[in-house]
């Protein structure tokens, strides 16, 4: 199952995408724990794409492609912004950066997903979550 | 004296002794506007009411993103600035991971439940 969507730079539209994906994950039988992880990473990545990438510009779009299987969730999010170098983001866990808002979202995406990678000029991110194997099987 | 009718309440403050116990009324602390308002309500406790002991009860909270964390750090600093203490309690396991990954669990005092939170002052 692969789904492609294009949304405006609008956080309300992003929320609707998150809800659609959450419902699909539930239907596929993902655990609450995995769904929380994916939802959080999606929230951070979409907010980044809309606010930092597209700068909330209503003429710019966010392109989303995702697939859900019994084993894994994959998503690619592309914005129309200038991109960035993830290595330039200051370490948000350093004392001097604690009150800065940037970087924490990226840290959470990496913490909650199995794999996170930025591509090209940094306006494309792919994320993967390999599903937790239930103990009962 | 009453708050504006259009403004939805997002936190509830209860006094237990000299501790201000704050309960969040929303399950999801996500969008910028509500985070801003929650921040304003929390900062008011310190800046205007001079409360030195604040216990945040996360019992109702099911989801929280990085946008909310900045407010908690600022609140922590404000409370520290008046020689007070901020304690967080009853954080769901998944949300606790948010604090762990961002290493905020090392800076903030986090108690398992409200009782333990009250005793942390």
Which among B63, B97, B102 has CB closest to A104? B102
The C-alpha R_g of chain B, in whole angstroms, comes to: 13
SS3 (DSSP) at A73: strand
Does the pLDDT of residue B3 top 60, yes or no? Answer: no
Report all structural domains of chain B as residue ranges with CATH numbers, in order of start. 11-119 (3.30.750.24)
**Cα B82 from Cα B77, distance rounded (Å):** 9
How many Cα atoms occupy the beta-carbon half-sphere of B19 within 13 Å?
19
Arithmetic mean of pLDDT over chain A? 92
Residue B5 is encoded by which pair of tokens?
A: 């009718």
Q: Cβ B101–A112 below 8 Å, yes or no?
A: yes
pLDDT at B20 over 50: yes
Question: Closest to A92 (Cβ–Cβ): which among B32, B97, B102?
Answer: B102
B104: chain A residues, CB-CB within 8 Å = 98
Confidence band, pLDDT 50/70/90 cuts, at residue A32: very high
**A52 contact B CB<8A:** no
Do the Cβ atoms of B65 and A101 come within 8 Å? Answer: no
Give residue B1's pLDDT band: very low, low, confident or very high (50, 70, 90). Answer: very low
ipTM for the whole complex: 0.88
CB-based contact B88:B106 (threshold 8 Å): no
Separation of alpha carbons B33 and B24, rounded Å: 15
Q: Residue A134 has what pLDDT?
A: 61
- Residue A99 and residue B101: Cβ atoms within 8 Å? no
Calculate how close chain A gets to B88, using CA atoms only, in Å.
17
Looking at residue B5, what is its pLDDT?
Answer: 44
Residue A96 pLDDT level (bands cut at 50, 70, 90): confident
- If contacts are CB pairs under 8 Å, which of residues 77-116 in chain B contact chain A? 77, 94, 97-98, 101-104, 107
Q: Which of these ranges, A20-29, B1-10, B107-116, has the smallest mean pLDDT?
A: B1-10
pLDDT of residue B2: 46
Q: How far is B25 from chain A (nearest CA, A)?
A: 20
> Would you state the torsion angle of the CA atoms of residues A16, A20, A21, A23, taken in this order, to the nearest 10 degrees?
130
Q: Give the CA distances from residue A84 to residues A11, A87, A121, B35, B107, in Å, rounded to whole numbers and listed in that order.
A: 20, 9, 6, 26, 29
> What is the rounded distance in angstroms from the CA atom of residue B11 to the CA atom of residue B83?
23
Q: Is residue A30 packed enough to be buried (19+ CB in 10 Å), middle (13-18) or exposed (0-12)?
A: buried
Sheet strand arrangement including A2-8? A2-8, A61-68, A72-79, A124-130, A115-119
Note which residues in 68-97 of chain A have CB less than 8 A from chain B: 92-93
CATH number for the domain whose boundaries are A2-130: 3.30.565.10
Q: Where are the domains of chain A?
A: 2-130
Which of A11, A92, A108 has its CB closest to that of B98?
A108
Query: In Å, how far is B12's CA from the nearest CA of chain A?
Result: 25
Residue A45 tokens, joined:
């990545």
In the predicted model, is pLDDT for residue A19 greater than 50?
yes
Tokens representing residue A11 in the block: 């956080």
Q: What percent of chain B has pLDDT over 70?
A: 94
| Tokens read off for B113 | 């439940």
């Amino acid at each position: 199952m692969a789904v492609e969507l294009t949304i405006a730079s609008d956080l309300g539209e992003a929320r609707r995408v998150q809800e659609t994906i959450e419902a699909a994950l539930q239907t596929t039988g993902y655990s609450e724990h995995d769904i929380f992880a994916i939802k959080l990473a999606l929230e951070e990545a979409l907010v980044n794409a809309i606010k930092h990438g597209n700068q909330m510009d209503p003429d710019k779009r966010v392109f989303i492609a995702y697939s859900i299987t019994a084993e894994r969730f994959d998503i690619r999010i592309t914005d129309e912004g200038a991109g960035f170098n993830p290595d330039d983001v200051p370490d948000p866990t350093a004392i001097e950066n604690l009150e800065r808002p940037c970087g924490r979202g990226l840290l959470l995406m990496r913490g909650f997903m199995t794999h996170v990678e930025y591509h090209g000029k940094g306006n494309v991110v792919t994320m993967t979550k390999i599903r937790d194997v239930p103990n009962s099987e | 004296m009453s708050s504006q009718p259009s403004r939805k309440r997002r936190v509830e403050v209860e006094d237990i002794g000299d501790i201000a116990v704050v309960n969040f009324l929303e399950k999801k602390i996500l969008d910028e506007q509500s985070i801003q308002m929650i921040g304003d309500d929390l900062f008011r406790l310190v800046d205007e009411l001079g409360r030195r002991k604040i216990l945040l009860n996360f019992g109702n909270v099911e989801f929280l993103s990085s946008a909310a964390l900045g407010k908690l750090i600022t609140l922590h600093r404000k409370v520290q600035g008046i020689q007070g203490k901020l304690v967080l309690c009853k954080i769901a396991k998944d949300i606790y991971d948010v604090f762990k990954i961002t290493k905020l669990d090392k800076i903030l005092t986090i108690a398992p439940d409200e009782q333990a939170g009250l005793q942390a002052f």
